[in-house]
Structure 1
Amino acid sequence: MSDALIDKLRRRFDPLAASGMYEVFQFHFTDADDHYLVVDDGRLEIHEGEHDKPSVSLNMSSATLKGVLSGEINGMNAFMTGRLKATGNVMLATRLTRLFADYKDSER
């Protein structure tokens, strides 16, 4: 995950959407180092590497993540076509766009 993408995620994180939530989103990228996001009651931490017990693990390219978060790629379509693979609590992946709702606005 590039530093620019990490910075963008931090800036666009919506703490209200994460209120009362404790989840770990593990990202295994095909073209970048692994990272995980810890969402803890309105707070976000981004770490490089692998978490011992993620809530959900997502495998994709960094471009697919950017596309899903910006709305250019439909997450369900990416999942059904194999561009995105998920294990664990797969339904959590659908919450990413709400947690980073302003992400699309940062692309302009």
Structure 2
Amino acid sequence: MSDVITQAVDALNAKMGADGFDGTAKFDIEGEGAIVIDANGARAADDDADVTLSASADTFKAILDGEQNPTSAFMTGKLAVDGDMGLAMKLAGVLS
């Protein structure tokens, strides 16, 4: 597992806290791997999910660091969403 994935899993779990996430989402980070988020938290995995968000490692890091708004990243083509858009919006709220 890459350092980017390990750090992202830790950051996502810290952001989500005890609230969890009531769906299944996958972040596909170009050249690094994938992270799945569900009610149990975030983990390195490439399982099927209700929504898949794809971005470069730089874009993903900027979203996690609060330097990039997830909605703006989507609108400018830096973040691709495949699947349940409503769930993607919920996830954006969790990450903000």
Band the TM-score falls in, shorter-chain normalisation: 0.7 to 0.9
Q: Equivalents in 1 of 2:69, 2:62: separation in Å?
A: 8
Change (3 A) 1:90 1:32: same
State whether structure 2 residue 50 is matched by structure 1 residue 47: no
Percent identical pairs in the alignment equals 25
Specify which structure has the higher proportion of helix: 2
Unmatched 5+ stretches in structure 1: 102-108
Amino acid at match of 1:74: N
Q: Which residue matches 1:2?
A: 5
- Counterpart contact for 2:27–2:54, Cα < 8 Å: yes
Aligned-residue Cα RMSD (Å) equals 2.1
CA offset digits 1:27-67 (Å, max 9, x no partner): 111131122112x2xx3141322x23x11111101221221
Normalised by the length of structure 2, the TM-score is: 0.75
Amino acid at match of 1:2: I
Amino acid at match of 1:75: P
Considering only CA atoms, is the larger Rg found in Structure 1 or Structure 2? 1
